[in-house]
Amino acid sequence: MTKKLVLALALAAVIVVIFLVATGQIGILRWGLLGAACLLLPGLGWARRSQLRDAGDRLALAIAISISAVTVIGTIMAITGLWSASVGFIALLAVAVAGFLTKGVLNAISTGLKWFINLFVGPESPATKETPR
């Protein structure tokens, strides 16, 4: 994309935002920002880890991962009957934050969760047993 095209798109976005605010259509603006955030943020950290050099490919991967995360979280909430916008947002936020964490931190969190589960179910639980490699 050329600089002129990026500048024109940015200018158009600013004009649309000013128009929506001036006419009192803040709800539309909120939904648009929320949709863009849900479409991009959950997969952004995970796509950043990929070895793709092209920014467009990373953006497409981030959107694909985000759509997958939204679908999985929505399906789990629908199946369990625990439908809540705030719980869904927190789950998407956890996916997004986990994408930006280093592998060492993720391993430490996993080890801590296993220890916490062992406090309640015991070390002989099938859920906490290590599988032989």
Is 115 contained in some domain? no
43 pLDDT above the threshold of 60: yes
Contacting residues for 38 by C-beta, under 8 A, at least 6 apart: 66, 70, 92
Q: Write out the H or E segment, with its range, that includes residue 92.
A: helix 85-100
Q: Could you say which DSSP state residue 83 is in?
A: -
Which is more confidently placed, 74 or 27?
74
Is 13 contained in some domain? yes
Is 73 contained in some domain? yes
Of the ranges 3-7, 44-48, 51-55, 64-68, which is most confident? Answer: 64-68
Closest CA to 89 of 101, 104, 77: 77
- What's the gap between Cα 26 and its chain centre? 24
Closest CA to 95 of 65, 119, 125, 117: 65
128 pLDDT above the threshold of 80: no
Express each pLDDT in 59-111 by its tens digit.
899 999 999 999 999 999 999 988 888 888 889 888 988 888 888 888 888 88
Structural domain boundaries enclosing 55: 3-100
Backbone angles phi, psi at 125, to 5 degrees: -70, 140
Is 69 contained in some domain? yes
pLDDT band at 23 (very low <50, low <70, confident <90, very high): confident
The overall average pLDDT reported for the chain is: 83
> Which residue bears the tokens 């998407």?
92
Is 86 contained in some domain? yes
- What's the gap between Cα 107 and its chain centre? 19
Please tell me the total count of domains within the chain.
1
